[in-house]
Amino acid sequence: MHDWRASSIDDESTRSLMSAAAVLHVTGARPNFPKAAPVIRALDQQGVNQRLVHTGQHYDERMSEVFFRQLGLPEPDVNLGVGSGSHARQTADAMTGLETLMTETAPAVTVVYGDVNSALAAALVSAKLGIPVAHVEAGLRSFDRSMPEEINRIVVDHVSDLLFATSHDAVAHLGNEGIAAEKIHLVGNPMIDTLLANLDRFDVTGIRTALALPDKYLVATLHRPGNVDDTADVIGLVKAMHAVADQIPVILPLHPRGRRHLEDAGLLSHRALRVVEPLGYLEFLGLVRGAVAVVTDSGGVQEETTMLGTPCLTLRPNTERPITITHGTNRLVTQAALADTVASTIAAGPPASRRTPPLWDGAAGERIADVLTELLR
């Protein structure tokens, strides 16, 4: 991996490596990697020249490098090393590095993923340089602009030239915002491609044994600002999670964001609630697959539980992925209602049947690659 932080590309090997990039993929955070993997693989099978940039928004090995190994992603050609910081600082640092890189290497198209700050930075820089932007996971809307991710989604979609949507509701949102129909492509969900390709590798027994878990346990993931930033919200969340742990052991792979607030509020004081470091992709989904239920505020987990059939309780007032409610196992829940909802979910057991969202069939990466290849022609 090239560690690139300078104001210009003065390493001759890096310059040569990047100079012929037809497709430039920009990733930066944990949710990007399972979305990018099937697209990169499908383009490689079509012989397309491509390069991968990692902004370093998530820089911890457990949040980043382990995904490259487990998902068979190529090592990034460039790492911008932007690290953590405020939204403005992180986005600005990524934009500065990407502008120099794109100016000197002139990719034919930039592909961005999801709603993280890295996607926003890459889309803005590309658009200003006249480089076409392709947005994978376009059109998702929570209609809650207090979420930083919602601002990112809207801006990225409106500067993009190709918009790859995972669901019909996403297509409708884009149309309602005046985006031309010929730019929009309903392709399915590339993150589900990755899940289906690795389904046999999700070792429920192995991860349960490694973490010394009982047969029945609940998984939680919590990191959204609406849950972990405000002191009153954090206190309420800890109280709600303790009420859940009164019923069933809880295992919580805890994102660095908000960890101190949760711990300061007494999260770890309940003997049946256990916090562990973030897990690799395979280990985490093995954990989720074997769980009685999942409590989360993550968008991606809502989709993964939909495909795995694990009951999902989303601790948010809204979701940008309503298809996980209409076609999956997801339900929105408040802090006040969480304990009772967990109790009823445990009593009901796993769903007897569920519908799979349209085109969530493992071939989204190939559909995206076909559109990109046509653009390059």
- Per cent of the chain over pLDDT 90 is 79
Inform me whether the pLDDT recorded for 296 exceeds 50: yes
Inform me whether the pLDDT recorded for 256 exceeds 80: no
Kindly report, residue by residue over 276-294, the tens digit of the pLDDT.
999 999 999 999 999 999 9
Q: Is 223 a catalytic residue?
A: yes
**Of 71-80, 175-184, 265-274, which range is least confident?**
71-80
Does this model's pTM top 0.85? My answer is yes
Instruction: Classify domain 201-348 at the CATH topology level.
Output: Rossmann fold (3.40.50)
**pLDDT score for 56:** 85
**pLDDT score for 58:** 56
332 beta partners:
314
Inform me whether the pLDDT recorded for 319 exceeds 60: yes
pLDDT tier, 12 (very low <50, low <70, confident <90, very high otherwise): low
Buried b (16+ CB within 10 A) or exposed e, 289-311: bbbbbbbbbbbbbbbbbbbbebb
**pLDDT score for 330:** 96
SS3 147: coil
Backbone angles phi, psi at 203, to 5 degrees: -90, 95
Residue 211 contacts residue 251 (beta carbons within 8 Å):
yes
Kindly report, residue by residue over 131-151, the tens digit of the pLDDT.
999 999 999 999 999 999 999
**pLDDT score for 2:** 30
Q: Which of 255, 356, 253, 345 is nearest to 306 (CA)?
A: 356
Most confident range (mean pLDDT) of 60-64, 208-212, 223-227, 259-263 is: 208-212
Chain-centroid distance of CA 63 in Å reads 11
Residue 189 contacts residue 166 (beta carbons within 8 Å):
yes
Place of tokens 């694990």: 310
pLDDT tier, 96 (very low <50, low <70, confident <90, very high otherwise): very high
**pLDDT score for 41:** 97
**pLDDT score for 258:** 77
**pLDDT score for 298:** 94
pLDDT tier, 15 (very low <50, low <70, confident <90, very high otherwise): very low
Domain with CATH 3.40.50.2000 in the chain: 12-189+360-376, 201-348
Helices (H) and strands (E) in the chain, counts: 17, 13
| Among 158, 223, 270, 327, the one annotated catalytic | 223
How does DSSP classify residue 183? G
Chain-centroid distance of CA 342 in Å reads 25
Kindly report, residue by residue over 215-244, the tens digit of the pLDDT.
999 999 998 888 888 889 999 999 999 999
**Of 75-84, 212-221, 297-306, which range is least confident?**
75-84
**pLDDT score for 16:** 41
How does DSSP classify residue 255? -
Buried b (16+ CB within 10 A) or exposed e, 208-230: beeeebeeebbbbbbbbebbbee
> What would the two tokens of residue 2 be?
């090239």
pLDDT tier, 60 (very low <50, low <70, confident <90, very high otherwise): low
Sheet holding 330-332, edge to edge: 273-276, 250-253, 218-221, 293-296, 312-314, 330-332
**pLDDT score for 238:** 96
**Of 39-43, 72-76, 338-342, which range is least confident?**
72-76
**pLDDT score for 14:** 39
Average pLDDT over residues 68-92: 88
Average pLDDT over residues 178-190: 98
> What would the two tokens of residue 99 be?
């502008």
Q: What single string gives the DSSP state of each residue in 55-105?
A: --SS-SGGGTHHHHHHHTPPPPSEE----S--HHHHHHHHHHHHHHHHHHH
Report the distance separating Cα 191 and Cα 131, nearest Å.
25
Inform me whether the pLDDT recorded for 107 exceeds 50: yes
**Of 137-146, 246-255, 347-356, which range is least confident?**
347-356
Average pLDDT over residues 110-118: 96
Q: What is the mean pLDDT of the chain?
A: 91
Inform me whether the pLDDT recorded for 5 exceeds 70: no
Give CATH superfamily name and number for 12-189+360-376: Glycogen Phosphorylase B; (3.40.50.2000)
Inform me whether the pLDDT recorded for 182 exceeds 80: yes
